[in-house]
A and B are shown apart, each in its own frame.
Chain A
């Protein structure tokens, strides 16, 4: 099985050095139907003394604000070392009509001043194979 994955946050070359919210992208809503799922994948390529926590959110429009960060759809484990994680996909049973097409990744660090290289990916719609 292979996914055509869309990069939501590319910090592979320029490390993240503070907590933040990634750019909002319209990568599509979660479709209904057999075999239609949403996937999230994370590669953490460098580590620091603490940990980094990545979440993937969706919303109804690109108008995210400080009070509207979107709804958390994927919640990665706090990473304290180089690792990769492939979360359980959202299936038609968990996909609701309120799931929306605008997606972003946000990241938090356990200690300020840390530095992490990472790559956050999503696939909305299904896999091949």
Chain B
């Protein structure tokens, strides 16, 4: 089994790379679960429904030009942001270490911090569910 020392994630939002602002990233693909259980069944019967995807990131807050605050704050609620995430660096032409690309809408951008800590942020981008 191959494992990855996770330190080379790459995160792109529109015309900006925000990798250096992040220290955490997740790409969550899911499907709604439809319940088709009926009387007489002895187990819950589920059926796959509509699919959704969400990119959730967190890291160190930076207000400089081209960094997370300058980029993400204005994007909240804006449709069709093009987002690409690579989990472990970028290798041209590879089909075994592909990225995740989607059109999304920034649904949350939170500044957060406790006294004495590094000021941080949370960023959440929900997939738009459209392809063009």
Question: Which residues of A come within 8 Å of B, CB atoms?
Answer: 1-10, 12, 22-23, 25-28, 37, 39, 41, 43-45, 81-89, 119, 121, 123, 127-129
Contacts and interface: CB of A to CB of B under 8 A. Distances in A.
17 contacts: A1-B53, A1-B128, A3-B102, A6-B94, A7-B92, A7-B94, A10-B90, A26-B93, A27-B95, A43-B82, A45-B16, A83-B14, A83-B15, A86-B132, A89-B131, A123-B101, A128-B29
B91 interface: yes
B27 interface: yes
Main secondary structure of the interface of B (DSSP, over half): strand
B81 to A, nearest CB: 8
B98 to A, nearest CB: 4
Nearest to A37: B131
A129 B29 contact: yes
A86 B103 contact: yes
A12 B10 contact: yes
A12 B90 contact: yes
B34 to A, nearest CB: 15
Contacts of A123: 101
Given A88-B132, A89-B132, A129-B127, A3 B100 contact: yes
Given A7-B86, A86-B103, 17 more contacts: A1-B51, A1-B127, A1-B129, A6-B99, A7-B92, A7-B99, A10-B92, A12-B17, A25-B92, A28-B95, A43-B14, A45-B17, A82-B14, A85-B82, A88-B132, A121-B101, A129-B29
B122 to A, nearest CB: 20
B27 A2 contact: yes
Interface in B8-32: 10, 12, 14-17, 27, 29, 31
